[in-house]
Amino acid sequence: MRIAFHAAGASCEIALIGELDHHAARTAMAEIRTRLDQSLPASIDLDMRQVTFMDSSGIALILALYKHVKALDGELRLFSISPPVRKTLAAAGMDKLLDLSA
């Protein structure tokens, strides 16, 4: 998995690229935390378009980002969610926390 990170003032856009499983999530989360600590955005736009696979390890990563922005009174927005990724998010109840329609 690769991460593309674009800071834009109080907000940032993170594109997740590749398979988001337990193996990938550990290094991806470490890299995202480093970038967040450098640019200190309050809100995150998460581009899911190039996520080719995701399991519950991805849920944990998204939950961690959700808690991060909520602590800063910011927003986490997911967009370009593929049908299989949306199904996994919904099975884990993430539709109660986030808008999964984009």
- CA–CA distances in Å: residue 102 to residues 28, 31, 38, 72: 23, 25, 28, 23
| Nearest-approach distance from CB 74 to other proteins, in angstroms | 19
CB closer to other proteins out of 53 and 79: 53
Residue 40 identity (one-letter amino acid): L
d(CA 33, CA 27) in angstroms, rounded, equals 10
Tokens of 13: 């856009």
Give the footprint of other proteins on this chain (CB under 8 A): 19, 21-23, 25-26, 29, 53-57, 59-60, 63-64, 83-84, 87-88, 91-93
| Nearest-approach distance from CB 20 to other proteins, in angstroms | 10
CB closer to other proteins out of 13 and 55: 55
CB closer to other proteins out of 11 and 57: 57
CB closer to other proteins out of 13 and 19: 19
CA-atom Rg of the chain in angstroms? 12
| Nearest-approach distance from CB 85 to other proteins, in angstroms | 9
SS3 at position 33:
helix
Residue with tokens 């997911």: 78
